[in-house]
Amino acid sequence: MQSSTPSLPQIEKLRLHTQRLTNDLDRLMFEAIPVGTGSPMRLAQAMRYAVVPGGKRFRALLTVAVADLVGGAYDHALRVGAAIECVHAQSLIHDDLPCMDNDDFRRGKPTVHKAFDEATAVLAGDSLLALAFELLGHEATHPDAGVRIKLVLTLARAMGQDGLAGGQMMDLYPPPDASVDEVAMCETLKTGALISYCVEAGAMLGHCTPEQSAELTRFARALGRAFQIRDDVLDRIGDEIIVGKAVGKDQGKGRKTTLSVMGLDKTRTEVARLARECEEALAGFGQEASILRDLTRLAINRLN
C-alpha cells in the first residue's frame, strides 16, 4: 500500500462509486426521516440537516466495499451503511455541542445546535441512534434474523463504554501525562470502534473464512488509527475552508493526540506503518480488494 496520493484513474473510480452510494443513501435517509407526518417537524428537520447531505460517507463506503468483497448484497449493505452514518452523525452533533468540543461549523455549515438549538440537537442525535437500530432490525436489512441480531448487538458494543462514548470520555478527561498507548487507546475507541464496526458489519452480510475475518479485523484496526491520525494532522495543517470546520483547536485546548505526543516525524512513520499493515491484511484478497485500498489511501491523504 502506497501512502502517496492516489492516481487520477483511482480517484475517478472512487468518485463514481461514491456518487452512486451517496445518491442511494440520501434517498434512503430522506424516506426514513419523514417530515410533517405527525412527529415533531423541527426534530425531523434537524435529523435531516445532520445526515443529508452527509460528509464523505467514508464509513458507508467501507461497509459496502467489504460486503461486496465477501458476496454480500448491495441493498443490505446500503441499509447498514445508512445506520452507521446515523450513528456517525449523532457522534458529530454531540461532539460539537458547547459541553463537548463547542464547534460552530461542521461540513462547511453551522453545526446542528447553531442552526437549530441545543435541546433540538441533543434530541436529533438521540433519534438518529434510534433510527440506526430501527434500520438494522428491519427485515429488509437481511432475511436472516440471526444476522440482524448480530448487526444490532455489535453496533451497541461499538457505541458504548468500550467504544465511541468511552473514547470520547478519555478524550475529554485524559490522564495528566497521557502516554502514547493511552492516546492510541482513546483514538481507537472514539474513532476506530465505528470504523471496525463498518468492516465487521460488511463481513456479516456475506461469507468469509475465519482467516479472512481475522485479516479484515487487522485491516480495520489499522485503518481506524490512520483515519484518526489524519484528523489530528488536519487540525494542525488543514485549511479551514476545505476541512469545513475550525482547525488548530487541539493545540489551543492542549489536547492529547498522537501528533501532540509523538511529534510530526514519528507520526508520519506511524502512518506509514499503519498503511503497510492495511496492505498486508488485504494481500490475500487480491485485486478484489482494490476499493478497500483506495479507501485506505483516502483515509491517509484526505484533505477534509
Residues that bind ligand GRG (CB under 6 A): 54-56, 58, 87-88, 90-92, 94-95, 107, 159, 164-165, 168, 190-191, 228, 231
C-alpha distances out from residue 245 to 61, 103, 128, 179, 213, Å: 22, 8, 22, 28, 36
Q: Which residues pair with 109 in a beta bridge?
A: 106
Q: Measured between alpha carbons, how far is 103 from 258 in angstroms, rounded to an integer?
A: 21
Q: Cβ 159 to ligand GRG, closest distance in Å?
A: 4
Q: Which is nearer to ligand GRG, 120 or 228 (CB)?
A: 228
Q: Measured between alpha carbons, how far is 298 from 33 in angstroms, rounded to an integer?
A: 30
Q: Which is nearer to ligand GRG, 69 or 129 (CB)?
A: 129
Helices (H), ranges, 116-192: 118-137, 145-159, 164-172, 180-187
Q: Cβ 80 to ligand GRG, closest distance in Å?
A: 16
Q: Which residue is nearest to ligand GRG (CB)?
A: 55
Q: Cβ 166 to ligand GRG, closest distance in Å?
A: 9
Alpha-carbon torsion (30, 200, 275, 93), positive or negative: positive
Alpha-carbon torsion (39, 43, 193, 165), positive or negative: negative
Q: Cβ 214 to ligand GRG, closest distance in Å?
A: 25
Q: Cβ 58 to ligand GRG, closest distance in Å?
A: 5
Q: How many residues appear in the chain?
A: 304
Q: Which is nearer to ligand GRG, 6 or 54 (CB)?
A: 54
Q: Which is nearer to ligand GRG, 3 or 18 (CB)?
A: 18
Q: Which is nearer to ligand GRG, 90 or 257 (CB)?
A: 90
